[in-house]
Amino acid sequence: MASQPVPRRKAGSVDRGSGPLPVPGRAAEVDAPVHDAATLGLVDRPGREYWWRQLSTAARDRMVTRVGPIVEWWAYCHPTDRERPYAVVFGERGLAVATPTVNDRGGPAQSITVLPFVPSSLRHAVVVQKPRRPRSGRPALPGGDEPQGYDAELPLPERLRGFLGNLPVEAQARLQRPFVNGDTFARGNHFYSGNEDELDVWCFLAGRRWVTFVSGHGSGLSGPAHRASWRLICRQAEVAAR
């Protein structure tokens, strides 16, 4: 199956289910931590379409063949090699991550890691935050609500925690809920593009049992936190035994 040069979702396509995202066991009532928002740096660099095209056709085809049809994706330069692409594809059948490496001859290549999903386990929920009146007596939080208590600290990289802090509290909770309810964090990453007032965002957190992916748009971000608005889709699927 050949991939398109730049992946596009089909018009009108939907996920296979909606409603509460599945987290097993009665421990699902445990609250996830709310993080402090870090300042998100903006650089003048090509966007995700450019970096997707920097992947070889074979690498793109391998990703789409193994996890497609594509639901969401991003591509960017790798943090340790600014001239080479890194890509994430969240598909109906799995999550694929392409990382630059070298082949046996010392030439450039892509290492593709795939987390396959349990068939029909993909679900989604929509997270909406609208502008609101500020609360008196204390500044509004970037995420939109009061932080909820959680005693332990999740083993998330500092950059990832700082990024999550910019998202609505509900989105932070949905991304982290598997890990405060028994799953083990394995990897995660994020990407954003836009300007100081509007951002498109993508983020995934993957554990041994669950993968959660959030994507969407925020606006009014340059002013007071209570004026910000977000519309995000949070997708989650169960990882198949390998």
Kindly report, residue by residue over 147-205, the tens digit of the pLDDT: 444 445 788 999 999 999 999 999 999 999 999 999 999 999 999 999 999 999 999 99
**CB environment 216-231: b (16+ within 10 A), e (fewer):** bebebbeeebbbbbbe
Residue 30 pLDDT greater than 80, yes or no: no
Q: Using a pLDDT cut of 70, give the percent of the chain over it.
A: 80
Half-sphere exposure (CA, 13 Å, Cβ side) for 129? Answer: 26
Cα–Cα distance for residue pair 23/148, rounded to 1 Å:
19
pLDDT tens across 41-81, in order? 898 889 999 999 999 999 999 999 999 899 999 999 998 88
The mean-pLDDT minimum among 128-132, 142-146, 238-242 falls in 142-146
Which residue in 52, 71, 34 sits closest to 149, CA to CA?
34
Pull the structure tokens for residue 210. Answer: 């669950």
| Residue 129 binned pLDDT confidence (cut-offs 50, 70, 90) | very high
pLDDT at 159 (0 to 100): 94
How far, in whole angstroms, is CA 165 from its chain's centroid? 13
Pull the structure tokens for residue 28. Answer: 């699902």
More confident residue, 136 or 12: 136
Pull the structure tokens for residue 45. Answer: 């660099």
Which pTM value belongs to this model? 0.84
The mean-pLDDT minimum among 105-114, 148-157, 192-201, 210-219 falls in 148-157
Cα–Cα distance for residue pair 124/72, rounded to 1 Å:
12
pLDDT at 181 (0 to 100): 92
- The dihedrals phi and psi of 22, each to the nearest 5 degrees, come to -80, 120
Average pLDDT of the chain, as a whole number: 86
Q: Are 33 and 58 in contact (CB under 8 A)?
A: no
